[in-house]
């Protein structure tokens, strides 16, 4: 089973591989992605990390509030995207 974690307040220069490296010490990282602006291609300052189910809680505890490049990360379980009405 895989769970998706939301990672917010990322520095603009963060790459998906940086996210993977950040979370890897706490368990299995299946994939990571940074959300970018469609128009400019620049990071929007947040991303998602897919992790194995049994590692998710440990990762949230370890990484929520973690300081990365001078910014305090927000990490929690991603909520399913709401479809716009």
Residue-wise pLDDT for 9-61, tens only, equals: 999 999 999 999 999 999 999 999 999 999 999 999 999 999 999 999 999 99
Residues listed for the chain: 85
| Residue linked to tokens 């995207």 | 81
pLDDT of residue 84: 58
Task: Using CA atoms of 24, 26, 29, 33 in order, give the dihedral in degrees to the nearest 10.
Answer: -70
Rounded to two decimals, what is the model's pTM? 0.91
Does 85 have pLDDT greater than 60?
A: no
Name the residue among 73, 55, 51, 53 with its Cα closest to residue 64: 73
Which run of H or E residues covers position 83? Answer: none
The full set of domain ranges for the chain reads 2-77
Taking domain 2-77, whether its CATH number is 3.30.70.20 is answered by: no
């Amino acid at each position: 089973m895989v769970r998706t974690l939301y990672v917010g307040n990322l520095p603009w220069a963060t790459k998906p591989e940086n996210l993977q490296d950040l979370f890897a010490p706490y368990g299995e990282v299946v994939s990571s992605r940074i959300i970018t602006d469609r128009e400019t291609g620049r990071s929007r300052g947040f991303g998602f990390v897919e992790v194995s189910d049994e590692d998710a809680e440990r990762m949230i505890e370890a990484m929520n509030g973690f300081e990365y490049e001078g910014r305090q990360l927000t990490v929690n379980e991603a909520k399913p995207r709401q479809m716009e009405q």
